[in-house]
Amino acid sequence: IISNWHHEFEIIYIVSGTETIYIENECIVAEAGDIVVINKNRIHSLTGKGWVHHCLIPSDTMIQSLGIDCADISLKPHIKDPELANAFLEIIDAYNSGRKYETAFKMLAIQRFLLLLFEKHEIKYSDNVENKRSSDFLIATKVINYLRQHLAEDFSIDEIASELGITTSYMCRCVKSATGLSILDHLNIIRCYTAKHLLYHTDKKIGEIAELCGYRNASYFAKNYKKIIGISPSETSRR
């Protein structure tokens, strides 16, 4: 099973069959008509037999254009909602219609679906929990942005905390609380997915890509890559 990870929400509609979706430590078994939401920055993988699904990964810009501040929102991961399922089917129909103004109809269908999704299935928290969660998520976002900007460099956890003006222990607790992962986990995920992109889309050698992604030891890079991506760097580069 190959794991995946990205910044955006991923929304999966199960057309037929049964699909098992692992989102970090959670296992969801979804069947036809179900919708599964993979919240931002979550490691996930999919497996199943005889299943068919459609996937939607809306950009933050698209969601924000609807007046939804999605920066620190979480959605229910497993949804059984006929109204929402029908709205997703309208997206599929819009893409297959070939009608006049097809692009506009696609956009309208996606917007309607997203509005229903966020209106009905946002996870609600009490004010105290929400304030704590928002604070943790804000710090986690700043840390992840720092990791993305400096992924090729050598730096310490203390340097990140100093850059953000907070203590190292507090920063680590916030990131773990908000995402379920450590800062080192996030760094390795970002580096390995950047490496995966370079392996697919450039002719650079594996050792060079490892170096560009901040790995000074080729065997350590290969070990982390296999653990996170599910296949070795050499298997990726042959595809």
pLDDT per position in the chain (239 positions), as tens?
556 777 789 999 999 988 889 887 688 999 999 999 998 877 788 876 668 899 999 999 999 999 998 877 889 999 999 999 999 999 999 988 877 888 899 999 999 999 999 999 988 655 445 555 667 878 888 898 899 899 999 999 999 999 999 999 999 999 888 777 899 999 998 999 899 989 988 999 999 999 999 999 999 999 999 988 889 999 987 65
Q: What is the model's pTM?
A: 0.60
Query: Is 218 inside any structural domain?
Result: yes
Range of the domain at 207: 128-238
Question: What pLDDT score was predicted for residue 23?
Answer: 85
What is the rounded CA–CA span in Å between residue 104 and residue 161? 45
Q: What pLDDT is attached to residue 220?
A: 95
- What span, in angstroms and rounded, lies between the C-alpha atoms of 124 and 106? 29
How confident is the model at residue 133, as a pLDDT? 61
Domain boundary among the residues 121, 136, 168 is at 121
Residue 94 CB neighbour total at 10 angstroms: 18
Last residue of a domain, one of 71, 103, 121: 121
* In-domain check, residue 158: yes
Asked, for residue 4, whether it belongs to a domain, the answer is: no
Please answer whether residues 20 and 31 qualify as being in contact, where contact means their C-beta atoms are separated by less than 8 angstroms.
no
Q: What is the pLDDT of residue 11?
A: 96
Least Cα distance to 143 among 131, 161, 124, 170 occurs for: 161
